[in-house]
A and B are shown apart, each in its own frame.
Chain A
Amino acid sequence: MQQQLRTRINDFAFKLANVNGTGSASANGLLMQAIFRMGIPVSGKNLFPSNIQGLPTWYEIRVNKDGHTARSLDYDLMVAMNAQTYARDIREVRSSGYVLYDSSWPLDGSLYREDVHFLPVPFAQMCNENFADSRQRILMKNIAYAGTLVAALDIDMPIVEALLDETFAGKAALRDSNRQALHIGYDYAREHFHCPLPFHLEKMDANGDKILIDGNTATALGCLYAGASIAAWYPITPATSVMDAFRQFCERYRRDPETGRNNYCILQAEDELAAIGMVIGACWNGARAFTSTSGPGISLMNELLGLAYYSEIPAVVIDVQRVGPSTGMPTRTQQADLLECAYASHGDTKHILLFPSDPAECFEFAVKSFDLAERFQTPVIMLSDLDIGMNDWVAPRLRWDDSYRPDRGRVLSEEDLKSVAKFHRYTDEDQFYVPSRTLPGVHQSGAYVTRGSGHNKFGGYTETPSEYQEVVDRLARKQKAAGSLVPHPKVQTRSGAQIGIVAIGGCNPAVQEAVDLLAADGVQADYMRICGFPFHESVERFLYDHDPCFIVEQNRDAQLRSLLTLETCVPKNRLRSVLVYGGFPLSARLVVEEITKQLEVTHAVHR
């Protein structure tokens, strides 16, 4: 039975099922941006295949007036544009929901569902009638379904038209055909269906001066603003767009207007071993340098991360995590590089990690990464993920304080060196156990040999146990001290909280929503989002103060929980796991279901 949904404004989700490589991305992006400009909280999740053309691809849009924009699993509308996946797409729509499909070809009877509404539109047929060029016929189908959605969801038409005008500024012919296609879909919907559908949009003012940006672009901006002048990389999804964006920004803002020369150098390395090697060489020489990569690249970088750790050279690595192990699923998201990054390389090593949760933090933490790397003379790895990095997020406007000065750490100047009788690399530590360093090309008395082989505190080669230990023991103290300077955890408390929830990075929107949903169910939870490693001391306190604590993370092996039990004294059995690791962005529903299930078991046992 088809039931009428009750009217819902600015609170629904819809999913677009397309074929990869047919131009749907621009139509979907257009819809996202139009809704954003209507001032409504919105998110778009691109669930795309690791393929260039032909495989199925989905795009999910969720609008929520309360600002909950984690991935929804309840689709009110399916825009089914891919016959290959009709069966599963139609199955996914919630009961009483809608299916919009291309009725140029009849829908197989077996796909029919009694409890949903079907909205047939002959997109292909209409585009064939209106456009002569075969490539255009395919492309315009996308804009046509966007037009239908404009009518069905009450998307503001002037905003959509303005967006087309901006996109095709100076390309009048293209603009006109896009407008034409838009109206073909729009008019058909107005004529044939009751528009808008019961769930639809209304302008709001929730977005203020916010921006619509993906995490990789924001990361690149952070690197630009931090003053990184050298970047080395090897192409890999989902990190590639960090460097693409960095290059674009550099071309715009780093070209000397007088000389035409570049105040940056981007090196496409032969592999990730080289990429991190180049970064280390550049940082050793006093530049701010970074590389962007994903899990497979981190695996290759292990050897040299150990070199930088042991010989105390700054380096910044952006890890946009994807699904592992091995090649895994390159276009799907996960948080499964935590342990690998925390202890990357052989021997006793430990690294500073930062966990941004959205594009605004990608920007902020990228800058912070350089400051920490130079302050502590060690690699810093910022762990973003595919969901944060490649999806468009409504983010608070990025702010910059012009009084910011980079923390270059303890580097001796020419003046300093003139008065130094003999410089010893690993002596003279400060309150963070960081020694001072010197740069090549400055002064002869700063010269020493940097080495990854055993060295004493003077920087000299050693094989003597006590000399070796003296240096690595200081490194351990230094790493621990870094815990006080990494971004502190963000804690939200509720009165009468019975449980604690802990998460990192991209889990944040889903966990925020889950906390609200649990509260509505009568379960009050305090929430701590960890932002850095080594853990700030307040992390341990939170764990002790909450029993049980649910650690929400996107990997199979509960890596964050492992890190917490390794690095704090909290008993392992107080930390429960909520693990979602199939590769799609986290949804609140899964968090709520799992926590509720585990609490019920606990209660049953205690009863």
Chain B
Amino acid sequence: MPSIVKPVATHPSLQRNELGLTIRDYEGSMSTLCAGCGHDSITAAIVRALWEVAMPPHMLAKMSGIGCSSKTPAYFVNGAHGFNSAHGRMPAITTGANAANRDVTYIGVSGDGDSLSIGIGHMCHAIRRNVRMVYIIENNGVYGLTKGQFSASADVGSKSKRGEPNQIPPIDPVLLALSIGATFVARSFSGDKEQLVPILKAALAHRGLSLIDVISPCVTFNDHSGSTKSYLHTRKHATTATEADFVPPASEILAHIAQNGVTTVTMHDGSVVRFRSVPESYDPSDRARVTAYLLEREKKREIVTGLLFIDESLPDLHEANKTSDVPLARLPFEKLCPGAATLDKLQEDFR
């Protein structure tokens, strides 16, 4: 909300990134979410990650649907365009935006209601098209903004604030994404910035859709003892599958360090993600085994976190459509209009 203005004083010791910007330059308007809402912690991690990768603010577009989670694009990077669109439609709108300008970096912020109910079709198809974007689901198991109804990610038995248990099985966005060809799948916890920031940085470098399911407790409607999306429950049941380390393209030396049990994935821009897999055999590039592992852990009611799967080899929307390198929205009219002579000639086919 722009009506609440943050003080602009900058602490002199604030560090500057490659672009000479401080972390304050990546902040947005003051949040209007409840104090302690997990979504605000995710915002902080996004700010951090964008500052660390030195994202030029104007080259970022912040996309969202409707919900408490979808309000958050207003709370980071004031210097970037944002689009707080309609409930569930963010993936479709971002697909069109991305098709029009491939040079812009898209961060889509959504909720579990936004993405797993009303917009689940759009999310699935954006994944299938491998639209290059960071797709964050701020997953709290409830509809926050409409005051606490169960969402499609609420676990069976999970209790609402009024105490009634959820009866119908949840949709796990991670397993769903894996099953429909997602090329980057991660899960994290809003309270774990150490893990979330490197995942976000890797996601920003990924050439395709990077889905990040972030458990994000709703302190107002879903942070009680019966909830499986509460701080307490998540802290107790989270297991880390991989510890991912993001190494930008410039840091040659780090990328070459070979370590025992470390898998490296080189991204298209030359940066590297290094995984230290906690279970020794975990291979984040093997879709079937990742899926099997997640299912097995799920049975034990464990929430597996980390960068769970990555495949850099599949084409994104632009590669698949062989679109021009110059963003379509920037093509000069002369390149688009075939002109009068051609029109005259082609009409011979209609004679």
A-side residues, CB < 8 A to B, are 36-37, 211-213, 217, 221, 224-230, 232, 253-254, 256, 259-267, 269-271, 273-275, 277-287, 289, 303-304, 307, 397-402, 404-406, 438-444, 446-453, 458, 460-461
Give the docked Cα–Cα distance between A400 and B122 (Å): 38
Contacts of B34 in A (CB 8 A): none
Do B101 and A440 touch across chains, with their CB atoms under 8 A apart? yes
Q: Given A274-B95, A447-B81, A458-B2, A282 and B100 touching (CB < 8 A)?
A: yes
Min distance, Cβ A317 to any Cβ of chain B, angstroms: 13
Chain B residues within an 8 Å CB radius of A269: 92, 125
Q: Are A37 and B351 within 8 A (Cβ)? A: yes
Given A263-B335, A281-B100, A441-B104, is A452 in contact with B92 using a C-beta cutoff of 8 Å? no
Q: State A438–B61 Cα separation when bound (angstroms).
A: 13
- Complex CA gap A444/B56 in Å reads 9
Q: Do A229 and B58 touch across chains, with their CB atoms under 8 A apart?
A: no
B73-95 interface code vs A (CB 8 A; 1 in, 0 out): 11000111111111001011111
In chain B, positions 297-323 with a C-beta closer than 8 Å to chain A are 317-318, 321-323
Inter-chain CA distance A287–B74, complex, in Å, is 24
A289: chain B residues within 8 A (beta carbon):
96, 100
**B3 to A, closest residue via Cβ:** A460
User: Which of B3, B62, B96 interacts with A230 by CB under 8 Å?
Assistant: B96
Segment 278-295 of B: residues with Cβ below 8 Å from A: none
Let me know if B253 is at the binding interface, CB within 8 A. Answer: no
- Shortest beta-carbon distance from A203 to chain B in Å: 15
Residue B54 is within 8 A (CB to CB) of chain A in the complex: no
Whether B257 is near chain A, meaning CB under 8 Å from some CB there, is no
Contacts of A458 in B (CB 8 A): 2
Question: 5 tightest CB-CB pairs across the interface, nearest first?
Answer: A281-B96, A277-B92, A278-B96, A449-B82, A287-B100
| Contact of B103 with A by CB under 8 A | yes
Residues of A within 8 A of B59 (CB): 441
Contacts of A225 in B (CB 8 A): 337-338, 343
A281 to B321, CA, bound (A): 18
Taking the nearest CB of chain A, how far is it from the CB of B99, in angstroms? Answer: 5
Can you name 11 A-B residue pairings with CB atoms under 8 Å?
A221-B343, A230-B100, A261-B323, A261-B325, A274-B91, A280-B93, A287-B328, A401-B340, A441-B81, A444-B80, A449-B84
Are B122 and A270 in contact, CB atoms less than 8 angstroms apart?
yes
Q: Please, which residues of chain A bring their CB within 8 A of the CB of B83?
A: 281, 284, 449-451
Q: Does B265 contact A (CB under 8 A)?
A: no
A347 CB to nearest chain B CB (Å): 13
Extra A-B contacts (6), CB below 8 Å, given A262-B322, A460-B1? A254-B336, A263-B331, A278-B95, A278-B99, A281-B94, A304-B89
Residues of chain B contacted by A461 (CB below 8 angstroms): 1-3, 74
**Contact between A304 and B86, CB atoms less than 8 A apart:** yes
Q: Are B99 and A211 in contact (CB under 8 A)?
A: no
CB of B329 within 8 Å of the partner chain = yes
Check: B33 CB closer than 8 A to any chain A CB.
no
Chain B residues, Cβ within 8 Å of A265:
99, 317-318, 321, 323, 328
Verify A397–B347 contact, CB threshold 8 A: yes
In the complex, the answer to whether A448 meets B121 with C-beta atoms within 8 Å is no
The reply to whether A227 and B328 form a contact with Cβ atoms under 8 Å apart is no
Chain B nearest CB, measured from A260 CB (Å): 7
* Residue of A224, A285, A397, A443 touching B100 (CB-CB under 8 A): A285
Residues of A within 8 A of B20 (CB): none
Q: Which residue of B has the minimal Cβ distance to A270?
A: B125
Q: Which residue of A lies closest to B343 (CB)?
A: A400
Chain B contacts for A452, CB-based, 8 A: 84-86
In the assembled complex, the Cα of A213 lies from the Cα of B73 at a distance in Å of 48
Partner of A232, one of B80, B94, B96: B96
Please tell me if the beta carbons of B329 and A287 are within 8 angstroms of each other in the complex.
yes
Q: Knowing A277-B122, A285-B101, A447-B81 touch, does A262 contact B96 (C-beta < 8 A)?
A: no
> Quick one: which of B124-145 are within 8 Å of A by CB?
124-125, 129
Q: Are A447 and B101 in contact (CB under 8 A)?
A: no
A559 to chain B, nearest CB (A): 27
Contact B81–A438 (Cβ < 8 Å): yes
Report the minimum CB–CB distance from A401 to chain B (whole Å).
7
Chain A residues near B122: list those with CB within 8 A: 270, 273-274, 277
Of B61, B62, B318, B329, most buried by chain A (CB within 10 Å of CB) is B329
Q: CA–CA, A461 to B93, complex, Å?
A: 20
Q: B57 interface residue, CB < 8 Å from A?
A: yes
Cβ contact within 8 Å between A262 and B321: yes
Those of B95-124 within 8 Å (CB) of chain A: 95-101, 103-104, 121-122, 124
- Look across to chain B and name the residue whose beta carbon is closest to the beta carbon of A395: B350
Whether the Cβ atoms of A213 and B92 lie closer than 8 Å is no
**Complex Cα distance A271/B118, Å?**
13
Chain B residues within 8 Å of A262, by CB: 321-324
CB nearest neighbor in A for B82: A449
Residues of A contacting B91 with CB < 8 Å? 274
Query: Nearest chain-B residue to A254 (Cβ)?
Result: B336
The answer to whether B100 and A307 have CB atoms under 8 Å apart is: no
Is A449 a contact partner of B100 (Cβ separation < 8 A)? no
CB of B337 within 8 A of CB of A227, answer yes
Q: Is B343 in contact with A229, judged by CB distance below 8 angstroms?
A: no
